[in-house]
Homo-oligomer: A and B are copies of this chain.
Amino acid sequence: MKKNRRSFIKGSAIALSGSLLVPIACQSSSKPGNNKTAAGKLTLSFEPYELQLKHTFTLASSSRTTTPVMLTKLEYDGYTGYGEASMPPYLGESHETAQRFLSKVDLSGFSDPFLTEDILAYIDSIAPGNCAAKASVDIALHDLIGNILEIPLYKLWGLNPDHTPNTSFTIAIDTPEVVRQKVLEAADFRILKVKLGGGNDREMINAVREITDVPLCVDVNQGWTDKHTALDLIHWLKEQGVVFIEQPMPVEDLDEIAWLTEKSPLPVIADEAVQRLKDMIGLKGIYSGVNIKQMKCTGLREAWKMINFARAYGMTVMLGCMTETSCGVSAAAQLSPMVDFADLDGNLLISNDVFEGVKVIDGKLTLPDRPGIGVIKTGDIL
């Protein structure tokens, strides 16, 4: 944790240079050129990175082969915490926005990382949006705290690491041939998440079912437009061993989704319809569950609150991720003993991970016996 200190270049200088795709370590600090972490001083560094996807990732609305992330590091009194912002383009954040946001972060007013609520309220107040960038600070801060206390975050939250769920592995929209191949490669998983809404729904499910009979969950990413067709399809999907349907229709179709949820034989889970804690109140009566993601909700602290809120509401709770390194995924996995379903496979979809952390063993999320988010940095970054 205390190794790999190196020189940093001040973030604002990089922002001015504009060469954001070249991964260069940046430091947001009130004292440029001070490379040592002073006791009582919180220092944030960040570095853009481009995740390479093993397979082209096709959703109902888009297709891509890379995901930009911003990796962060918080240092305090010889301790280190790592964080990550994953920014799939459709969410509106980018290397440039994250760089701009993180360059504004001035932690000189905080001498104690344990003032988590204050620090994260300040981070949230810097600018609206920027949820992934905010999460990258939240994750690094929680990792730092866990490292200082020398306990994993699940222990800080009183959770039992044995209660982690199986994680689903995502099968993106593709031809039956590619789908079959991907399902074969996913033989270690006990539940699969199939992306639908691309116009070949039955073909997708049939291709999966040619290979495996594990439970399936389905993510439509708002891809269905007619509630009656959707309900027919859900009935058919239930017969195929599907356990829930995620974001079946566009978020603005509230009445249609409420109708579908009421009639659906499977739980209907909100994803794009919910970002943060404040959005939870409106879900009751429209969805029966929620997919909570750090990158949408600004990080672990708000995710923790959202899970508790959803539990009090009696909702099905799912924990999701973007394509992320093992840094982001291991952070989310620390919360996974609290949820019904986990879709924390983002690190398994990339070929250039720079962290080692949570493992999937026999399909189940297996938390490392290490403090904080439980990661080891394996790449030459930060």
Contact = CB atoms under 8 A, between A and B. Distances in A.
Interface of A: 114-118, 120, 145, 149, 151, 155-160, 163, 277-278, 280-281, 301, 305, 308-309, 312-313, 337-338
Contact of A281 (B116, B149, B312): B312
A20 to B, nearest CB: 32
Contacts of A115: 158-160
B151 A114 contact: yes
Given A151-B149, A305-B308, A116 B313 contact: no
Nearest to A284: B281
A151 B156 CA distance: 12
B118 A160 contact: yes
Q: How would you classify the secondary structure of chain A's contact residues: helix, strand, loop or mixed?
A: helix
Contacts of A281: 312-313
Contact of A158 (B116, B163, B277, B312): B116
A157 B147 CA distance: 16
B312 A117 contact: no
Nearest to A154: B114
Nearest to A278: B312
Q: How many copies does the complex hold?
A: 2
Nearest to A113: B158
A119 to B, nearest CB: 8
Contact of A309 (B151, B156, B309): B309
B160 A117 contact: yes
Nearest to A304: B308
Nearest to A338: B117
A312 B280 contact: yes
Contacts of A145: 158
Nearest to A306: B312
Given A149-B149, A305-B308, A308-B308, A158 B114 contact: yes
A231 to B, nearest CB: 28
Nearest to A155: B114
A301 B159 CA distance: 12
A367 to B, nearest CB: 13
A277 B114 CA distance: 26
A322 B265 CA distance: 46
30 contacts: A114-B151, A114-B155, A114-B158, A115-B159, A115-B160, A116-B157, A116-B158, A116-B159, A117-B157, A117-B159, A117-B160, A117-B337, A117-B338, A118-B160, A118-B163, A120-B158, A145-B158, A149-B149, A149-B151, A158-B301, A277-B312, A278-B312, A280-B312, A281-B312, A281-B313, A305-B308, A305-B312, A308-B308, A309-B309, A309-B312
